[in-house]
Structures are given as structure tokens and as C-alpha cells.
Structure 1
Amino acid sequence: MTKFNLELRISIVTQYLTGISSIQLARKYHIANNETILLWVHRFNCFGIAGLKPRPMNLEYSSEFKIEVLNWKQQHQASLSETALHF
């Protein structure tokens, strides 16, 4: 089971798009980081509702890929969400 189901994610993104800030929504729904909401909004804008569906978390990545991600994040001084969206 996912922490935030699809219906809740859709509701939160909808509220954000009507003008409620990500900080207010994070507080209301006990989401630790408001960047999570911004990531959901970006994925919704790119992929529609499909972008909000929970994704499997049992993926394994090679050491080379992990190093590439960390190097890109450092070179671009990017946040975690920006890095995730890039990769």
C-alpha cells in the first residue's frame, strides 16, 4: 500500500492548481516536504493522471548510474526533486 493513494494525490494537485500553496497542503496532509507536492504537480502537468500513479519502488540501479545522478545533482546544484525529474 502506498502512503498517499491516487485519489489523495489527485485531490492535492487539484487544490494546488486552484491556488492553495504547497506548504499549506503539506501541513494539512502531513506531508514532510512540500517539494513532494510540487513533484506531483510537475508529473501531472507532464503525464496527466498517469503521472500520479504510484510507481514500483523495488528498482535496482547500478553503481555507475547512482554516481552519474549524484554528479549531475552536484554540478547543477539541483534539489532532489529536480534531479529526480531529470532522471
Structure 2
Amino acid sequence: MVMKMQQDRENSNLETLRPEADRREDAARREDDRKEEAARRAEERRDKAAQREEEQKEREIERAGCDRQHSQLLLALFGGRSQLSAHPAI
């Protein structure tokens, strides 16, 4: 009889502690999820920044090519000297 009462008390204590343990597990799981989401977002930001940097480099290369073509065209049209200026063409 005493053993049964002691066992019932222990079971009652376990039942009381279980919801608290569940809450702690849920909180830990939510914290892990939050950290994973933050890491995923940070990776996305790094990827987007790298993509923007690559696009910027491509635009600079394209712009340099256009500038070079423009300079060659000016040289071909004006024979190395600009008619708008006394200074030599680019």
C-alpha cells in the first residue's frame, strides 16, 4: 500500500514535470528553428551580394568595351584629332 502511494506520487510528479519538459523542448526546438532560419537568410543575403557584385563587374567590363569602341570610332572618324577640340582625341 505504501509502495503504491509512493508510486502514485512519483507518477503525479512526472506528469506535472512532463508539460514543463515539453515546453522546454518546444522552446529549444523553436530556438534551433530560429537559428536555422537566420543562417538561411544570411546565406541568401551573401548570395545576393555576390550576384550583385558579379553583375556590377559584368557592367563595368561591358562599359569598358563600349568606351574602347567609342574611342576607336573617334580615332577612325577624326584621324586621331578631335575637330571639337585642339587636343588629340582619346
For Structure 1 versus Structure 2, the TM-score category normalised by the shorter chain is under 0.3
Q: What TM-score, normalized to structure 1?
A: 0.21
Q: What TM-score, normalized to structure 2?
A: 0.20
The structure with the largest alpha-carbon Rg is 2
Q: Which has the higher helix share?
A: 2
